[in-house]
Amino acid sequence: MLPQILTPIPGPRSLALAARLRRHESRNVTYLADDFPVFWQRAEGVNVWDADGNRFLDLTSAFGVSGLGHTDAAVRTALVAQSGELLHAMGDVHPTALKAGLCARLSALTFERWGAGDAKTVLSSSGSDAVETALKTALLRTGKAGVIAFAGGYHGLGLGALSAIGLPFFREPFRAQLKDFATLLPYPHCYRCPFGRESGERLGEGTFPACLADCLMDLRGQIEATLREKEIGCILVEPIQGRGGCVVPPREFLPMLREICDTHGILLIADEIYTGFNRTGALFACEHSGVVPDLICLGKALTGGFPLSACVGHADVMDAAWPAGTGEAIHTSTFLGHPVGCAMALANIGELRAKKLVQRSARLGEMLLKELSKVQGPKSKVVCRARGVGLMAGIELLNEDSSPATELSLRVIKKLLHRGLILLPEGEHANVISFTPPLTISEAQLRRAAAALRKALDEE
């Protein structure tokens, strides 16, 4: 379906709601301007309707959550059935069969599927929680508190996860409350090389310029130096950076981290909260390079719309880290293993598979990347760089002097919202327009979205 905009954006109801929110929500939370946001009323598939009856095409999956599309029938049925049975249980005291079922399912989907044996899981509510569980696991397992993480990385905003994120915008205001256990190293970025090599212009799928070896060699050197200087227990990494601006590293990056972790007896934590569940054309992004991490963090598209996350680890690692329960868990929460969330996750996982969305994500992703690669900056004053894997794609806008074209990016996103397309900016400078649509989106809808972006940039 095409977007259908009936009112000026935001419409009168959205404006009235914004005024109400302005009075009563802490003012840093929702960005409220005269031309932003629209208030969502309902959603189905790739369509979202706002409070004024306008219909939008969602190219974000609402932060990567609605992989199946919004309000999927199977997930909704599971939710409704479960909420009529049991709305809440006692996750770490008197749990449900659903929790046992989901933990077993996550084991089957990850380590068992990778031929690495059983997995054990700690469930939680947010992505940030799952990352913090992983960091605690690494400390318990290795006795070492230090973490290597990467510039541009995003792992959530709880104080533990925040200590390890590589986006200063989020971290700096809270520095006084953070512990300095994370060492941030450059993430290999094939487009703007943080190692100062000749431009990292990517030449094509699987082909890199000669700088590639240097980049990973530099990084290896920095990691080894950090391991010599500090007590490091794990490397925390997004296989593809999402919030950092859809940064796709060289394929050899994760294998290198795996090898270093094995050599030094430390844990490799893959944060797949954004990339997981078919987003990148594989069930999990680490599968593109055949790397099995020690721990994988999952959230977002796990349930398709319920705050439930998971830290899934190799059973040996988890058992070596966590002492057997004695009646009081040392790491748990009130809503752990929420029955509605577990029921939704199980239904969601089944549907993702039944609808063969992993193949679809890969196929449509290739097509989208081709379309985005045709997008040119206005009068060539802006450089547009498209990148992505599967249906996790982005287009970075840079000024002639290579500085981030942030204002243009935000202006174009707003312009497209007014034309019925919901998009998000990503990256440290908010100059990457990201595309993470529901995996059920049609080819025609993607082509139209790319064409709308091209037109919006042409008009600038």
Interface residue list for ligand PLP (CB under 6 A) = 126-128, 131, 154-156, 238, 242-243, 271, 273-274, 299
* Cis ω before 10 (30° cut-off from 0): yes
Element (H, E) at 359: helix 357-373
CB of 161 to ligand PLP, least distance (A): 7
Of residues 131 and 227, the one with the C-beta less far from ligand PLP: 131
Minimum distance from CB of 276 to ligand PLP (Å)? Answer: 9
Q: Closer to ligand PLP at the Cβ: 191 or 306?
A: 306
**Nearer residue to ligand PLP within complex by CB, 209 or 307:** 307
Question: How near is the Cβ of 155 to ligand PLP at its closest, in Å?
Answer: 5
How far apart, in whole angstroms, are the C-alpha atoms of residue 160 and residue 337?
21
Q: In terms of CB distance, is 242 or 390 closer to ligand PLP?
A: 242
Nearer to ligand PLP, 126 or 133 (CB): 126
> E-strand spans in 152-239?
182-185, 232-237
Burial 285-294 (b: 16+ CB within 10 A, else e): bbbbbebbbb
Which is closer to ligand PLP, CB of 110 or CB of 128? 128
Q: How far is the CB of 296 from ligand PLP (least distance, A)?
A: 11
Contact (Cβ atoms closer than 8 angstroms) between residue 303 and residue 63: no
Write down the least CB distance from residue 273 to ligand PLP, Å.
4
CB of 131 to ligand PLP, least distance (A): 6
Q: Which residue is nearest to ligand PLP (CB)?
A: 127
Instruction: Round the CA-based radius of gyration of the chain to a whole number and report it.
Output: 22
The set of long-range contacts for 84-91, using a CB threshold of 8 Å and a minimum separation of 24, is 85/339, 86/339, 87/339, 87/340, 88/335, 88/338, 88/339, 89/337, 89/338, 89/339, 91/123, 91/332, 91/333, 91/334, 91/335, 91/336, 91/337, 91/338
Decide: 243 and 166 in contact? Cβ < 8 Å.
Answer: no
Which residues pair with residue 396 across a beta bridge?
385, 432
Determine which helix (DSSP H) or strand (DSSP E) holds 162, and give its type and residue range: helix 159-163
Q: How far apart are CB 243 and ligand PLP at their closest, in Å?
A: 5
> Cβ distance 153 to 166 under 8 Å?
yes
CB atoms within 10 A of CB 254: 24
Q: How far is 161 from 129, CA to CA, in rounded Å? A: 8
| Nearest CB to ligand PLP, comparing residues 211 and 247 | 247
Smallest gap from residue 127 Cβ to ligand PLP (A)? 2
**Which letter does DSSP use for residue 66 in this model?**
-
Q: How far apart are CA 171 and CA 243, in angstroms?
A: 14
Nearest to 361 by CA among 374, 348, 352: 352
Q: Cα–Cα distance between 162 and 157 in angstroms, integer?
A: 5
Nearer to ligand PLP, 37 or 152 (CB): 152
- Of 17 and 296, the one with the shorter C-beta distance to ligand PLP is 296
Amino acid letter for position 411: R
Nearer to ligand PLP, 136 or 230 (CB): 136
- Token pair recorded at residue 217: 């060699």
| Lookup: tokens for 47 | 């369509």
| Residue 280: CB minimum distance to ligand PLP, A | 12
CB of residue 366 to ligand PLP, shortest distance in Å:
23
For residues 150 and 274, which CB has a smaller minimum distance to ligand PLP in the complex? Answer: 274
Q: Minimum Å distance from CB 53 to ligand PLP?
A: 30
